[in-house]
Amino acid sequence: MGRRMDLAGMVFGRLTVVKFSHVDKGGNSMWRCSCQCGGLAVVRGGHLLRGSVTCCGGKGRGCRRIARADIAGKRFNRLTVIRRGGTDMYSGGRRQRWVCRCDCGKVLEVSGSQLRRGQESCGCLARERTSVRCTTHGKSGTLEYRLFHAAKGRAKRNGIPFNLNLDDIVIGETCPLLGIKLYSGKNTIQPNSPTLDKAVPELGYVKGNVWVISQKANQMKSDLSLSQLEGFVRILRDKIVRE
C-alpha cells in the first residue's frame, strides 16, 4: 500500500482540508474539510484532487448553506416557519433545522430538507388522514350499527341472505305497526326497543325487505308469513265475536 498524500492545509475551491478522517470501506482516504460558508464535510481525497467536490454542498450546486434562503415566515401547509433552529451534523456537513409552529399549536424543529420534501405538519395531519381512511361510515357505536351488526351475525349463523348497508337501517320515532314511541332501554330490551325485522322472513335481510319496528311488534309478528298473520287475526276475531 502506497504512502498516503497529506492534504491537510490544502484548499480546494471553498474547502480547506483540516485533517485526515478515516479510510472508508472501499479503501479510500477520507478528509475532514471546512467550507467558507462555515459548514463541515468529510470528503474523499480523490474527489478533492479531481475537483469534483469544491464545497460542502457538492460540485455544480454551489454551497447550499450560502444559497439557502431564509424561510422564516413561510408556510408549508400547516407548518409556519418561525426562525432558524439548531443544526445537525452528518457526513456531508451540517443540516439546518427550522423552528416551526403547526396549526394545531405544537412547536417543533424540522430540517429544511424535510420541508422541501413535503412535510406538512407535526404529524397531526397524517393522523387525521389515517382516521378518515379507517372510518368507513362514522356510525360505530350507534343503535343503527348495533342493529346492522346483530342482523349480519344472525344471517351468517342461520345461512340466510344478507346484502344490507348501514344506510338501510332507518329508525323512526314510532313503531310503524303499533304506533308506540320507539326508544332504547339502557342495556335492556324493552317493548318499545327498536328491532330490525324481515317483512318477508324467507327472503332474509335484503334491501327493501327490512324495517325497524318495536320489540313488542316483532314478538307479535315473529316469523309468521302474511297468510299466517291473516289467519291468526281471522281466528282471533271469530273467537272474540262468538264470545
Same domain, 88 and 158: no
- Domain C-terminal end among 41, 65, 89: 65
Q: Are residues 35 and 100 in the same domain?
A: no
Q: Which residues of 190-220 are buried (b: 16+ CB within 10 A; e: fewer)?
A: eebbbbbbbeeeeebbbeebbbbbbbbbbee
Q: Return the pLDDT at 66.
A: 43
Q: Whole-model pTM? A: 0.43
| 104: confidence class by pLDDT, cuts 50, 70, 90 | very high
CA distances for 13 relative to 44, 56, 92, 114, 214, angstroms: 15, 10, 16, 28, 86
DSSP string, the chain: -PPPP--TT-EETTEEEEEEEEE-TTS-EEEEEEETTS-EEEEEHHHHHHTS--STT-TTS--HHHH----TT-EETTEEEEEEEEEEEETTEEEEEEEEEETTS-EEEEEHHHHHTT--SSSHHHHHHHHHHH-SSS-TTSHHHHHHHHHHHHHHHHT--B---GGG----SB-TTT-PBP---SSS--TT-EEEEESSGGG-B-TTSEEEEEHHHHHHHTT--HHHHHHHHHHHHHHHHH-
- One domain, residues 59 and 74: no
Per-residue confidence at 59, pLDDT binned at 50, 70, 90? very low
Q: Are residues 60 and 74 in the same domain?
A: no
**Is there a domain that residue 3 lies in?**
no
Residue 6 covered by a domain: no
CB atoms inside a 10 Å sphere around CB 131: 9
Tell me, yes or no, whether 4 lies in a domain. no
Residue 138 lies in a domain: no
Query: Both 52 and 22 in a single domain?
Result: yes
In the block, residue with C-alpha cell 479503501: 27
Q: What is the mean pLDDT of residues 188-216?
A: 91
pLDDT attached to residue 32: 93
* Contact in structure between 121 and 77 (CB atoms under 8 Å): yes
**Do residues 138 and 146 make contact, with C-beta atoms less than 8 angstroms apart?**
no
With a cut of 60, say whether residue 125 has pLDDT above it.
Answer: yes
Phi and psi at 43, nearest 5°, equal -125, 145
Residue 2 is assigned to a structural domain of this protein: no
- The verdict on 32 and 104 lying in the same domain is no
Sign of CA dihedral 64, 65, 70, 74: positive
Domain around 188: 143-242
User: Does residue 236 sit in the same domain as residue 150?
Assistant: yes
**pLDDT surpassing 80 at residue 134:** no
**Mean pLDDT rounded to a whole number for the chain:** 83
What is the pLDDT confidence band of residue 19, given thresholds at 50, 70 and 90?
Answer: very high
CATH number for the domain harbouring residue 234: 3.30.40.220
> Is the same domain home to 78 and 38?
no
Tell whether 37 is covered by a domain. yes
Check residue 129 and give its pLDDT.
76
Residue 213's pLDDT band, with cuts at 50, 70 and 90, is very high
Choose the final residue of a domain: 133, 153, 170: 133
- If asked whether residues 53 and 78 sit together in one domain, one would say no
Residues 105 and 33 in one domain: no
Same domain, yes or no: 60 and 73: no
Q: Is the pLDDT of residue 107 over 90?
A: yes
Give the range with max mean pLDDT: 30-39, 45-54, 212-221.
Answer: 212-221
Buried b / exposed e along 17-37 (16+ C-beta atoms within 10 A): bbeebeeeeeeebbbebbbeb
Q: For residue 138, what pLDDT is reported?
A: 62
Portion of the chain with pLDDT greater than 90, in percent:
32
**The pLDDT value given to residue 205:** 93
Domain limit, last residue, from 111, 133, 155: 133
Query: Total structural domains in the chain?
Result: 3
Average pLDDT, stretch 166-176? 90
Spatial contact of 44 and 27, defined as CB atoms under 8 Å apart = no
Q: Is position 5 within any domain?
A: no
